[in-house]
Structure 1
Amino acid sequence: MGEKSVQKRKYIIDKARTVFSEKGFKNVTMKDIVDACEISRGGLYLYFSSTEELFLSVLSDDIGGDDEEAVLAAVSGNATAGDMLALFLKEQKKEILRKKNNLTVATYEYFTLHKAAVSDNPLKRQFDTAVRIVEKLIETGAQSGEFYCENPLGCARNLMYVVEGLKITAGTIGVTEEAIDKELMYVLEGLVPDELNN
């Protein structure tokens, strides 16, 4: 694919992201994408054959694999596990509060309608990656005495279930920044040793 084609494909994906974030998955048609991109139907079909193919491309574009390596590299540096966990959760909070181009509702619609094999589900891969990041941060913090946790994997999963629940809540009924902070702090308070809480 030439440079011009690569740029056109990226343009279509960027415009489609906005359409999917506004309308969800099931209500989007190829005509919606054609209109948003201001291209011909044939021009769109040169790159994508269906809204499903396009949506999966949008998701693949959004779900990066470098986060885990970046966090693990940072942990091996000067930052404490607590600092890194706070930074990770700050990024999650931004994603929860993001109104524009938020694909949460569309993503859950898609995977409700299309029961993809578990190994093919990019949402599951993203969740599992986040759990591994949090688990590593909790383990590192527990080793340094910053945290107390007998089950880092269970705690990491619990924290990410809370984050995912907040994403859905934000995209459906709404959630305040204060409510997000309270829910995340409730989970994190369980990690701090009692002597540091007093």
Structure 2
Amino acid sequence: MSAKGDKTKKFICSEAHKLFAEKGFKKVTMQDICERTRLSRGGLYRHYENTAQIFSAIVSAMLADQEDEFSEKIRNNVRASEILDDVLNRYEEEMIDSGSSLSVAIYEYFSSPDLSQGDGTILQQYLHSKKMWTELIECGMCTKEFKTVDPAAVFDLIVFSYQGVRMYSRLMPIGKDIPRRITGQIRQLLLPERE
């Protein structure tokens, strides 16, 4: 595909992401996306056949963005505690940003086998995130920046509390105190007491 075609596909996904965050997956139509992007139906269908294909492209791009988020920093000798601090600060902001959360749309899409066709993307994302977090936690334990913990258990606590708050932020107001308490507890689990 040409550079212009790639740019158009990215634009479609960017605008569709906003719609999916607003409405969930099931309520977004190709017509909604045409209106949001100001593309003709033919222009939109030239790139994507349906909303499921667009949503799948968005989720795939999210996975690619997440790819090796920590490993590059670890390779560049960034301290594990600094990486942890950066990601937990970002998570705090994301947990209260219900406007950009795809949690409801992801639930709708992946809980409907006829749409997701059981592609296992969520499981792949979970396993990839687990690998990244485990490497970070093990690195932090090796350098004595982190306490000795069960990396898989800490990862599950992080991912499911983060995703839970993201989901609930779509259903009720979430203040900054909830994400701060969660990230504070994660820091207490991992970081040794400062003397």
Query: After TM superposition, is the score higher than 0.5?
Result: yes
**Could you say if the C-alpha distance between residues 99 and 53 of structure 1 is closer, same or farther in structure 2, counting changes exceeding 3 Å?**
same
* Equivalent pairs, count: 194
Call closer, same or farther: CA 1:75–1:36 in 2, change over 3 Å. same
Closer, same or farther: CA 77–36 of 1 in aligned 2, 3 Å: closer
Compute the displacement of 1:144 (Å).
2.0
Q: CA deviation at 1:23?
A: 0.9
Cα 1:110–1:78 change in 2 (3 A) is same
Change in CA separation of 1:32 and 1:128 when aligned onto 2, cut-off 3 Å: same
Q: 1:124 to 1:30 in 2, by over 3 A?
A: same
Answering whether residue 39 of structure 2 is matched by residue 52 of structure 1, we say no
Which aligned runs of 4 or more in structure 1 are off by greater than 6 angstroms? none
How far is 1:26 from its partner?
A: 0.6
Matches within 5 A, 1:61-80: 61-65=61-65, 67-68=67-68, 70-80=69-79
1:179-194 map, 5 Å: 179-193=178-192
SS in 2 for 1:190: helix
**Change over 3 Å in CA distance of 1:87–1:20 after alignment to 2:** same
Q: CA deviation at 1:65?
A: 4.9
Q: Which string of whole-angstrom CA distances, capped at 9 and with x for unpartnered residues, describes residues 146-198 of structure 1?
A: 222242222222221111112112222232111101012123312234xx267
Q: Percent identity?
A: 25
Structure 1, unaligned runs of 5 or more: none
Matches within 5 A, 1:36-185: 36-65=36-65, 67-68=67-68, 70-114=69-113, 116=116, 120-185=119-184
User: Distance between the aligned counterparts of 1:27 and 1:117, measured in 2?
Assistant: 19
RMSD of Structure 2 on Structure 1 (CA): 2.3
CA contact (8 A) 1:15 1:36 kept: yes
In the TM superposition, residue 110 of structure 1 has moved relative to its aligned partner by 1.0
Give the distance between the partners of 2:162 and 2:89, measured in 1 at CA. 11
Distance 1:88 1:9 in 2: 29
Which residues of structure 2 form unaligned runs of 5+? none
Contact residue 141 and residue 147 of structure 1 kept, 8 A = yes
Q: What letter corresponds to residue 21 of structure 2 in structure 1?
A: S
Contact 2:80 2:139 survives alignment (8 Å): yes
Post-superposition Cα deviations, 1:69-99, rounded to whole Å, max 9, x if no partner, equal: x422322444321111111222222322334
TM-score (norm 1): 0.85
**CA distance in structure 2 between the aligned counterparts of 1:99 and 1:187, rounded to whole angstroms:** 22
Deviation, 1:24, is: 0.7
The TM-score with structure 2 as length reference comes to 0.86
Give the corresponding residue for 2:10.
10
**8 Å contact kept, 2:21–2:100:** yes
Q: Write the distance in 1 (CA, Å) between the matches of 2:101 and 2:189.
A: 30
